[in-house]
């Protein structure tokens, strides 16, 4: 596996820029190599463009829908909750979503509250993540 360098963050979107970015976004899908390769090879994060509280009984149904549509054959270590998301400008074409877990970091950069589904999984459709690459894509409505 080729070692890749992390993307350099040039800046973060402001609160107004985040709002504009998300105007027609349905969800953002992120995939990267799992740090727990003995379990499942890919770390997925699905960022839903909503800050609404999703009922607990609906959360597994949403994961099942995405798994079916994306060809994800197994899942584990699922987190489904509203979380702080910032958007970083890098050399890539679209802003990189960043899950903010540290309170000090949350106080220093703009973010928005969005619902994320974060989990380990496996899929033949994400060969790049299995090969050590990370990426994200925006789905628009």
Residues of the chain predicted below pLDDT 70: 1-5
State residue 111's pLDDT score.
Answer: 98
User: Which pLDDT value is given to residue 53?
Assistant: 96
121, 126, 118: which is closest to 34 by C-alpha? Answer: 121
DSSP state of 120: E
pLDDT value of residue 33: 94
Quick check: helix, strand or coil at residue 131? Answer: coil
Q: Can you tell me the distance from the alpha carbon of 45 to that of 111, in angstroms, rounded to the nearest whole number?
A: 17
Specify whether the CB–CB gap between 58 and 132 falls below 8 A.
no
User: What pLDDT, on the 0 to 100 scale, is given for residue 7?
Assistant: 77
Which pLDDT score, from 0 to 100, does residue 39 have? Answer: 87
Please report which helix (H) or strand (E) contains residue 125, including its range: none
Q: What are the structure tokens assigned to 113, written together?
A: 């509250």
Which residues have CB under 8 Å from 104's CB, separation 6+?
Answer: none
**CA 3-9-13 angle, 5° bins:** 145
* Alpha helices (H) in the chain, listed in sequence order: 15-21, 59-70, 103-106, 127-130
pLDDT in tens, 36-52: 878 899 999 999 999 99
- The confidence score (pLDDT) of residue 1 equals 46
């Amino acid at each position: 596996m080729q070692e890749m360098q992390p993307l350099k963050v040039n800046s973060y979107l402001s609160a107004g820029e985040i709002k504009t970015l998300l105007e027609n976004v349905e969800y953002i899908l992120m995939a990267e190599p799992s740090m727990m390769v003995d379990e499942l090879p890919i770390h997925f994060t699905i960022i839903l463009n909503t800050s609404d509280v999703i009922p607990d009984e609906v959360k597994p149904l949403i994961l099942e829908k995405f798994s079916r549509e994306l060809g994800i054959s197994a899942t584990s270590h699922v987190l489904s909750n509203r979380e702080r998301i910032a958007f970083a400008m890098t050399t890539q074409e679209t802003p990189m979503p960043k899950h903010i877990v540290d309170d000090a970091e949350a106080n220093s950069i703009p973010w928005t509250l969005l619902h994320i589904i974060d989990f380990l999984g496996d899929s033949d459709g994400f060969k790049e993540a299995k090969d050590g690459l990370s990426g994200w894509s925006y789905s628009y409505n």
